[in-house]
Chain A
Amino acid sequence: MIEVRKLVKRFGLKTVLRGMDFQVQEGEFVALLGPNGAGKTTFLRILASLSRPTLGEIRIAGCALPHQAAAVRRRLGVVSHLPLLYGDLTAEENLRFFGRMYDVPRLDGRISEVLELVGLSPRRRDLVRTFSRGMQQRLAIGRAVLHDPDVMLFDEPHTGLDQDACDMLDKVLRDVAARGRTVVMTSHDLARIEDLASRFDVLSRGVISSSANRTELGQKNLLDFYRQSLQEK
């Protein structure tokens, strides 16, 4: 579903990604781990066609980036630590706006379904600026799944959420993944992501330094695997 070869990204003289290779099969839930500044957000922004790669090949669902960016965006849902929502619109108006941007058919019914999925039906007519951070993040997930994408990219979605909000978000994430979507998620919260993901990749110094699925990880603790991956490099 996602295939990345020899990806390089430079910002001026600084090289963030140094010939990175990365593959994800359809339906996989991949956790992308790494220290601050490793290039996780840059990588997700490139996958989301928000940033152009300096070098390398990227294919998502058979479409090449950056040349077929619109076709890729059609199949992507993106959630970052910012909600990407308009505070002066209601939850329903936000979804209606993004639904029109994605040309979602039968929009009224789809909005109701999505609000139900993220548990915000009772607040559908409230302004988003009156929502707590956790509610905004749940609505952000609703925005991202509104057009029923095949691939979901999550960039540290738990940032700034309290424990209850994180638990509720995890429930929504599980539901999103259970529908067969391919998911790539970055996070620093190893305990939380250990329960969610089916594969764990560590991004360090611009390349994937280690990768392990649940079976390969076995009885090993994810934190130990992560620390070992950073030391090996």
Chain B
Amino acid sequence: MKSEKSLVTRHSSPGSFLRAVGAIAWKDLASELRSRELLSSMLVFALLVILIFNFALELDVKTRATVTAGVLWVTFAFAGTLGLNRSMAVEKDRGCLDGLLLAPVDRSAIYFGKAISNLAFMFIVEAIVLPVYSVLYNTNLFNPGLVGVILLGSVGYVAVGTLLASMAVQTRTRDVLLPILLFPVVIPIMIAAVKASSGFLQGVPASELTNWINLLVVYDVVFVAVAFMVFDYVVEE
């Protein structure tokens, strides 16, 4: 008989939950640092989108200022979808998702770990795209209010996207299914983010944009909470 006590002794504490979240985020970032598959595809795609829009929308400076925010968020949304799909596909293809699900932690830790790494990838792409965008569209995108809106919008997008990507990855048509599931659900966040971003770019005072910013905050809180509650059912057969 086995004489030694089981090595797993410290469980079900907030500490072990946070350690598991940290381990998943670290694993995704370390893997990506080696392969660069996900970031390179997101970046190339995002840069191509803004370049195409730059030539497609040959507008005067004033009109450009009004459409810049929309183009910016379309770029983030499309590039983000690529990243979300790839991030979950890596887990599924080699059966690694089962490896994660076998761990004796609350399965929402898997969700938060994946969401944190997805958010990190999204922020990296945004940090590279914004300066390029600023030059191509001759717009000052380095505005604290705008940066805040991008942070809030990205959190909401990734919160929903990570949950739906976990659902879509179980199907054979995952590449097609994710955008079909995701885009209708993120319409509120896209509208709020575009309106708030556009307002900041046009110099509208922050006090006049509070409704849109509040919508972003509420959306973020609601969808993080929903994902926390349903993730276990989404990933289990």
What's the Cα separation between A105 and B11 when bound, in Å?
11
Cβ contact within 8 Å between A101 and B31:
no
Chain B: residues with Cβ within 8 Å of the partner, total of 38
Cβ contact within 8 Å between B96 and A86:
yes
A233 within 8 A of B: no
Contacting A70 at CB < 8 Å: which of B22, B26, B100, B104? B104
B135 within 8 A of A: no
Residues in B neighbouring A167, C-beta threshold 8 A: none
Residues in B neighbouring A45, C-beta threshold 8 A: 237
What's the Cα separation between A97 and B32 when bound, in Å?
15
Cβ contact within 8 Å between A86 and B27:
yes
Stretch at the interface among B2-10, B64-72, B178-186, B205-213: B2-10
**Given A71-B104, A88-B31, A143-B99: A150 and B9 within 8 A (CB)?**
no
Cβ contact within 8 Å between B104 and A84:
no
Contacting B95 at CB < 8 Å: which of A80, A93, A98, A101? A80
**Given A26-B1, A84-B94, A181-B2: A110 and B103 within 8 A (CB)?**
no
Residues in B neighbouring A179, C-beta threshold 8 A: 2
Residues in A neighbouring B104, C-beta threshold 8 A: 70-71, 73-74, 102
Contacting A103 at CB < 8 Å: which of B4, B16, B98, B101? B16
**Given A50-B237, A103-B10: A86 and B100 within 8 A (CB)?**
no
Residues in A neighbouring B237, C-beta threshold 8 A: 45, 50-52
How far is the CB of A157 from the nearest CB of chain B, in Å? 13
Cβ contact within 8 Å between A148 and B6:
yes
Cβ contact within 8 Å between B98 and A74:
no
How far is the CB of A12 from the nearest CB of chain B, in Å? 12
Cβ contact within 8 Å between A98 and B7:
no
Taking CB atoms and an 8 Å cut-off, the chain B residues in 18-62 that contact chain A are: 19-20, 22-24, 26-27, 30-32, 34-35
Cβ contact within 8 Å between B105 and A70:
yes
Cβ contact within 8 Å between B94 and A93:
no
Cβ contact within 8 Å between B105 and A50:
no
Cβ contact within 8 Å between A76 and B102:
yes
A127 within 8 A of B: yes
What's the Cα separation between A27 and B1 when bound, in Å?
7
Closest residue of B by beta carbon distance from A180: B2
What's the Cα separation between A104 and B4 when bound, in Å?
14
Cβ contact within 8 Å between B106 and A100:
no
How far is the CB of B92 from the nearest CB of chain A, in Å? 10
What's the Cα separation between A89 and B10 when bound, in Å?
26
Name the 4 nearest CB pairs between A and B, nearest first: A82-B95, A84-B99, A180-B2, A100-B23
A sample of 19 more A-B contacts (CB under 8 A), given A82-B95, A100-B19, is A51-B236, A52-B236, A70-B12, A70-B106, A73-B102, A74-B6, A74-B11, A74-B104, A78-B98, A80-B95, A82-B98, A85-B94, A88-B31, A97-B26, A98-B99, A101-B20, A101-B24, A146-B7, A180-B3
